[in-house]
Chain A
Amino acid sequence: MAQAAAEGAAKQAIASMTPLMQSMLDTMQKSQAPAPEDFENRIEQAMARALGSAPSGEGGGARPLMGGPEEPVFIPTGIVKADAESLDVQSDSSEDEGLDDAALALKALRKRKKK
């Protein structure tokens, strides 16, 4: 699917580039001028712009953008269904074993830091 998308994007880029390239070639032929020195660079840049504007093959709203922390990340909604199945789970109860003491100690530590 990704390959088909890439091929589609490339074809679209070529289609949008063809009129521009034809126009440039026509101009060069009429003026009998040599190709500009940065001709290849110009073509590459124009191709990059054309490819950048071509749509990707897969729906943009269905997949998250895997980027760094500053880039937007799409998170789908409705993951937890209201009628989600109830399953048998394994639950154990154990004595506190210092949990309350740890919570109190953490509270005290944070209070000291605030002062």
Chain B
Amino acid sequence: MASKKTAPLGVGLDIGTMNLVSARRTADGTVETTRMRDAFLDLDARAKKMLKLSGVNFIDHGEDGIIVVGDAAMEMANVFGREARRPLSQGLISAGEMDALDVLGVLVKNVVGEPAKAGEVCYFSVPAAPVDESRDVVYHRGVFERIVTECGYEPYASNEAMAIIYAETAADGFSGLGISFGSGMCNLALAVSGVEGMVFSVARGGDWIDAGAARATGSTQSRMCALKEQGVDLMDPKSREEEALILYYKSLIEYALDQTTREFIKIKDRFSLPRPIPIVVSGGTSLAGNFLPFFEEVFEKKRRKFPIEISEIRHANDPLNAVARGLLIQAMQEYEGD
């Protein structure tokens, strides 16, 4: 009798301000990624009947109302003329969102699913502390360790940008500068031969672009976000609003590169780079049209004074899932030799 193939153990979980993404191997050798929008919307209990008919995900709190979660929360927010609430703010658990923990528990449980066996290893992403804001990640990491444990897994926290290094630079000996352009923040990691030399984050991301462009044009942040998601070509703006978006994209990239220079100067005496390394860009904010040539254009103006010798600049193979895949690679290591 042929033995049934079982899926290899290990899960990667990318916890982002805009999306939660998990990655795991399947029995047939493919990689399954599961995504949910990291958003929720509280509605009156009277909306329950309507939502049941439409098949929308919601959490029933009886007379206290219902909470719509995931992508539906964004859609319903538009329907009701409201803003969806986010459990995370600028990459970290939002201290002001009292319902955040309950919602995060439900979202994570559904994104990672049941463990293949009790205590299956789950590597989850944690941002580095931002260099431009006084926030630490201790509480954030502790909460997600607890959530992942309560989902039945053995949790391991791992830096978000280092996950990009593991996913995208195997051919470079796991050496490179990984940049995750997220919604709430950007995470950066410099590594040589898999050794982390520098990790940090900046408290600016896609949301910051939307807010800035909205202020510049008298529009709304939601409209800017919708414009981006409809598809903006960074090399060919077609409206005043797109020009404003591009201005803030440029500012964000310049800011990230300038902070990289500042942070590298602090460590350069004790961390040598034996050869040029690639820059790998990833994250939802990097999905804008022509992001890569745009990034290269901005970088070229800074290359002469950039303290790190760069061999090439490339996009992650799968920018939305690269972090989850890198975390999965690390989780798989826990079972090597099993």
Contacts and interface: CB of A to CB of B under 8 A. Distances in A.
Contacts of A79: 101-102, 104-105, 143, 146-147, 150
Nearest to B326: A102
Contact of A102 (B30, B35, B170, B318): B170
Contact of B35 (A68, A89, A107, A113): A89
A45 interface: no
Interface in A52-84: 64, 66-69, 73, 75-81, 84
Contacts of A76: 101, 143, 146
Contacts of A102: 166-167, 170, 329
A89 B36 contact: yes
B170 A80 contact: no
Nearest to A97: B317
A40 interface: no
B57 interface: yes
Contacts, number: 130
- Which of A86, A87, A101 neighbours the largest number of chain B CB atoms within 10 Å of its CB? A87
A109 interface: yes
Given A75-B146, A80-B150, A64 B105 contact: no
Contacts of B332: 103
Contact of B30 (A68, A96, A101): A96
A85 interface: yes
B57 A88 contact: yes
B49 to A, nearest CB: 17
Nearest to A66: B139
B136 interface: yes
A81 to B, nearest CB: 7
B207 to A, nearest CB: 22
A48 B110 CA distance: 49
B33 A92 contact: yes
B194 interface: yes
A57 to B, nearest CB: 17
Interface residues of A, number: 38
A103 B333 contact: yes
A90 B109 contact: no
A93 B167 contact: no
Contacts of A107: 333, 336
A75 to B, nearest CB: 4
Interface in B47-89: 55, 57-60, 69-71
Contacts of A105: 170, 174
Contacts of B145: 75
A64 B139 contact: yes
A84 B107 CA distance: 9
A88 B34 CA distance: 10
Nearest to B167: A102
B136 A89 contact: no
A110 interface: yes
Given A69-B138, A89-B36, A109-B173, A77 B146 contact: yes
B91 to A, nearest CB: 16
Interface in B304-323: 317-318
A98 interface: yes
A114 B151 CA distance: 33
Given A79-B102, A79-B105, A79-B150, A93 B333 contact: no
Interface of B: 25-26, 29-36, 55, 57-60, 69-71, 95, 101-102, 104-106, 108-111, 136, 138-139, 142-143, 145-147, 150-151, 166-167, 170, 173-174, 193-194, 317-318, 325, 328-330, 332-333, 336
Top 9 A-B pairs, shortest CB-CB distance:
A80-B150, A102-B170, A80-B105, A87-B57, A75-B142, A79-B105, A105-B170, A93-B30, A91-B34
Given A80-B108, A89-B35, A90-B71, 9 more contacts: A64-B142, A66-B139, A79-B146, A84-B109, A85-B106, A89-B36, A97-B318, A105-B170, A109-B194
16 contacts: A66-B95, A78-B150, A80-B108, A80-B147, A84-B105, A84-B106, A84-B109, A85-B57, A87-B69, A87-B106, A90-B35, A92-B32, A96-B30, A101-B170, A102-B166, A102-B329
